[in-house]
Amino acid sequence: MVVFPLNKLVVRPIIVKGNYDEIWVILVNSFPNFAEAIFGSILTSMILLKVRERFVENWGRISDIVIYSCASLITGIYVISQEIKFHNFGGNNIYDPNDVIASIIGVVFMYGLLNKYGVIQNDR
């Protein structure tokens, strides 16, 4: 929760007002989309894992990789559909293709980390 205000209030104004290369401006402007994809993937994964735990009779045999794949898909659909203004649940967005790319990179990055490390210790 500290990263968003720090980026918006401190880092972004310094980079935008300074004489930095355009890549740095793109990175600080698109960082919130990258972070949203990361946090969304983790949160959705944890929710789906808890659903599996709660409804073990029906969902108990679903593997972690399926859970992480579904979480990544749900998160990807949410963040990209928000960016292309299919919905406006995340606030006022201005379409920027770099934001879509940052969202995709964040989802793919987290998909890899989730499949490698998971989000909770699996006692199965």
The predicted pLDDT at position 91 comes to: 63
Q: What is the mean pLDDT of residues 13-22?
A: 91
Report the alpha-carbon distance of residue 31 to residue 37 in Å, rounded: 10
Instruction: State how far the Cα of 82 lies from the Cα of 80, in Å rounded to an integer.
Output: 5
Which residue intervals of 7-21 are DSSP H helices? 12-17
Determine the Cα–Cα distance for residues 24 and 1; give it in Å rounded to an integer.
22
Q: Tokens for 107?
A: 């989802």
| pLDDT tens-digit map of 30-69 | 999 999 999 999 999 999 999 999 998 988 899 999 999 9
| Digit-coded pLDDT (tens) for 99-120 | 999 999 999 999 999 999 988 6
